[in-house]
Amino acid sequence: QLETLEQEEQECLEFKPYPTEKRTHIVSQEHGMTVTKTLQEGEAEPQSQSFSYSPDKLRGLLLEGASLLLLRVLARRQTMPPDLVFPAIDTESDLCTSSY
């Protein structure tokens, strides 16, 4: 049984005169997953927001790293189970589904 314990994403946009940096940190805790999003535009103070998802909503969650691992296993086995769908978190950190 695989479980994501922590994931960090960073995105940098080099728009002049205000480069933008977005970071998303996801960490597993007792009460579920906590997501912290940070946005920094140019020299302004970084803006952060945090929120949590309960374990019930995350049952079977497939984050980016686990998705890559699953794709490798499926490619190695050269098989694709029908209707393979998992809960996931999209680029805006909203819950969604990931279908294969």
Following DSSP, what letter does each residue of 8-55 receive, concatenated? EEEEEE--SS--EEEEEEEEEETTEEEEEEEEEETTSPPEEEEEEE-H
- 47-98 pLDDT per residue, tens: 999 999 888 888 888 787 788 888 898 889 988 888 888 888 887 778 888 8
Question: Which run of H or E residues covers position 58?
Answer: helix 55-58
Tally the domains of the chain: 1
Tell me the C-alpha distance between 79 and 21, whole Å: 39
Closest CA relative to residue 98, chosen from 61, 72, 73: 61
Prediction pTM value? 0.73
Q: Tokens 């995105």 — which residue?
A: 11
Q: Which domain holds residue 12?
A: 5-99
